[in-house]
Structure 1
């Protein structure tokens, strides 16, 4: 058992090392800002220069919190204002996400082997790779949420609250995970306390138990709701310490003398909220939430037709999950939903998918993109691994251990093969137009 544990630990770290290599390999390609990097790298530069985002030396209206841009800024400060420096911070956090997926899978499913499977599937996901190689906010958000989840599982609630705050300070949609997971772990802890304690039937014992539950609820709210809010507000330290931020003087300009800085900050947050609620502009790569799990309309971050020896060539960065991985995730999700309805199993994994995906269905008119699915991509992978475990445990005895391992190896090999097949459009490798076109299985991918 110890030997197997050690071997699998080494294997997981080998997968993490491979993930790091893929994320740093040709990281400076494309050699210019792509997609929304133009906003976030510009913001990172402003943080380094001014501590707050400005435009033409005037306050700039910014609709996302600072933390994700500070991650980009640290890369620029360390490696320079160049393509590698822009992206390296996100690349390192993207690599860390692979390790966190493995740790969570091992813990939730009860064996390190399941963590290894999860790590391999995450390694072979194109969306994870692309989002880790692009200076956007979503991979930073996803990794912070995974770390927070790990601390929740470990019952280190204060640390979980801090990382929830860092995730909220990166992008607002972290709030759905904060609320969902706080509710989930709080209810689970209350149930466990009730089971572990033999309650007397006296009124005094009932009152004592009620006080204990109330105390627990208040403590967890403090750790998982108040602490994230404090971290979120603190993440705007540049705005608070400067008079150059957007709406920084709104309270004074409107004759408000009581707590003017706080009132200005709250006003700014409502301005951001109004922006997000009204965001419904047309975009060629707009994708509705129901399409994401099928990777129906992936987002092209970069496309050029460079000169090459074979005539017409193409070079692209397509933010698309490995198709066969995600499609098998759809089947696994069906399996887990059926099991949950019958046995209430794998609730946290289903919560993880739901918290990152379902809220977007409430905003059908909002401009959304398929790469938003990166936030629940780890939970799709955990869904697949949980389904593998359930199927393995229910297979008849006539299926030998060797046959089961062979089937699993075949599945992972197919996913890995699909990943390698599409890798050129994840890594901006120049291809002949005919080769590039062969990778576009559907017209909706173009």
Structure 2
């Protein structure tokens, strides 16, 4: 008699442990700097106005991220902990969701650990988990959505619940920042394409075939089309109650205003950059560099110098595997990177910054994790493990200017500003 195939054990405990560890590290000195820094100077006043429903400010961005910041202030007070605690929770939840998505996509324990390690030490997630900005809430919602989408494909018996949760998360992602819109559209389009190529006679009502057997295309449109838009609209509900400049002429008119504000031509900025510079990790942003809270401190948004570059050939490998071997996980991650970065190739936004690479860089690190998993399976275990160790070592070396730790003096930035674009 042949033995039953070995069933891999779900590493959910490892996922939880890594996410909690990441959260505790993000919490360390979360209240430093004690004054608002970088774009907190825009979003904190907007969050305070939300609590008072006085003057509707920062109208160019959707509401959900600012609502989360306002909720933190309402619960924990108008202080650094109230400003940033929900960002730290969103970062930890995003990391957990990324690992769960990797598990359902690959059923590989090493791929899960690799994805968690690389994203946790990739700099972007850590920095944005410690600042009251909108990006972390968008990334968290996208991660939750794609976790549930992967779960629906792996376990179609619970597909309806998973797609409903994915739809809610997609709506919240768009409600945090518009960067998420292409990624919110992708699941519904993918569902349609897969059913179309399955060649079913009853395209809209057939329950057979990928990506979620038992689910009709009509029902999928409800969960992945109608529900996200409804949730997105709900995030604007408080804006109808502002005393000054509220939504008085309807949601469509308000979105025309948002689009006008987003596409207005702004003056050039010393930190502005372009997508090729993002891909090559050539242009960083100093979120903070001054003497605050009794010491010289800095926060440098830059990608992990090792994994940002290793991730580029990993993306090519994933694209090749997706095409030649029809590996769904590899192909999907290459497409998601291209979609999330492609937005910035066509966006009518006059000034762009490196933090816009947060989403694409996350997919890049997951592509690297899948590539390392392939090397691990091929017997190159020392190489795969060494990349994870080196990524963590780079994180440790840069930690002081990722977490606003005290620096030796005003010229300390030179220790980490290796190229002119990082100064």
Normalised to the residue count of structure 1, the TM-score between the two structures is 0.83
Task: Return the alpha-carbon distance in structure 2 between the equivalents of residues 368 and 102 of structure 1.
Answer: 29
Q: Find the counterpart in structure 1 of residue 159 from structure 2.
A: none
Q: Find the counterpart in structure 1 of residue 157 from structure 2.
A: none
Q: Find the counterpart in structure 2 of residue 38 from structure 1.
A: 41
Q: Find the counterpart in structure 2 of residue 11 from structure 1.
A: 14
Q: Find the counterpart in structure 2 of residue 229 from structure 1.
A: 229
Task: Return the alpha-carbon distance in structure 2 between the equivalents of residues 376 and 66 of structure 1.
Answer: 22
Q: Find the counterpart in structure 2 of residue 274 from structure 1.
A: 260
The correspondence of residues 189-338 of structure 1 with structure 2, limited to 5 A, is 189-191=195-197, 206=201, 209-210=202-203, 212=205, 216-240=216-240, 242=241, 244-246=243-245, 248-250=247-249, 264-305=250-291, 314-338=296-320
CA spacing shift, 1:412–1:17, aligned 2, 3 Å: same
Give the drift of 1:188.
2.8
The correspondence of residues 43-442 of structure 1 with structure 2, limited to 5 A, is 43-50=46-53, 54=55, 59-60=56-57, 62-155=59-152, 156-191=162-197, 206=201, 209-210=202-203, 212=205, 216-240=216-240, 242=241, 244-246=243-245, 248-250=247-249, 264-305=250-291, 314-345=296-327, 346-363=330-347, 366-393=350-377, 395=378, 399=379, 404-433=380-409, 434-442=411-419
For the 8 Å contact 2:376–2:384, the answer to whether it is kept is: no
- Which residues of structure 2 form unaligned runs of 5+? 153-161, 208-214
For the 8 Å contact 2:33–2:292, the answer to whether it is kept is: no
Normalised to the residue count of structure 2, the TM-score between the two structures is 0.87
Partner SS state of residue 135, structure 1: coil
Structure 1, 354-363 or 331-340: larger mean CA deviation: 331-340
Give the drift of 1:307.
10
- Which residues of structure 1 form unaligned runs of 5+? 200-205, 251-263
Give the drift of 1:2.
9.7
Give the drift of 1:406.
2.5
Task: Return the alpha-carbon distance in structure 1 between the equivalents of residues 299 and 204 of structure 2.
Answer: 56
CA spacing shift, 1:230–1:10, aligned 2, 3 Å: closer
User: What is the aligned-residue RMSD (CA, Å)?
Assistant: 2.5
Task: Return the alpha-carbon distance in structure 2 between the equivalents of residues 222 and 414 of structure 1.
Answer: 45
User: 1:99-133: per-residue Cα shift (whole Å, max 9, x none)?
Assistant: 11111111212212211111111221211100111
User: 1:30-65: per-residue Cα shift (whole Å, max 9, x none)?
Assistant: 111111111111111111122xx61xxxx5461111
Partner SS state of residue 286, structure 2: strand
Give the drift of 1:180.
1.8
Give the drift of 1:185.
3.0
Partner SS state of residue 154, structure 1: helix
Partner SS state of residue 5, structure 1: coil
Task: Return the alpha-carbon distance in structure 1 between the equivalents of residues 24 and 335 of structure 2.
Answer: 32
User: 1:340-380: per-residue Cα shift (whole Å, max 9, x none)?
Assistant: 34233322111221221111011376211111111233311
Partner SS state of residue 318, structure 1: strand
Task: Return the alpha-carbon distance in structure 1 between the equivalents of residues 390 and 192 of structure 2.
Answer: 40
The structure whose Rg is larger is 1
Give the drift of 1:145.
0.8
Give the drift of 1:407.
2.4
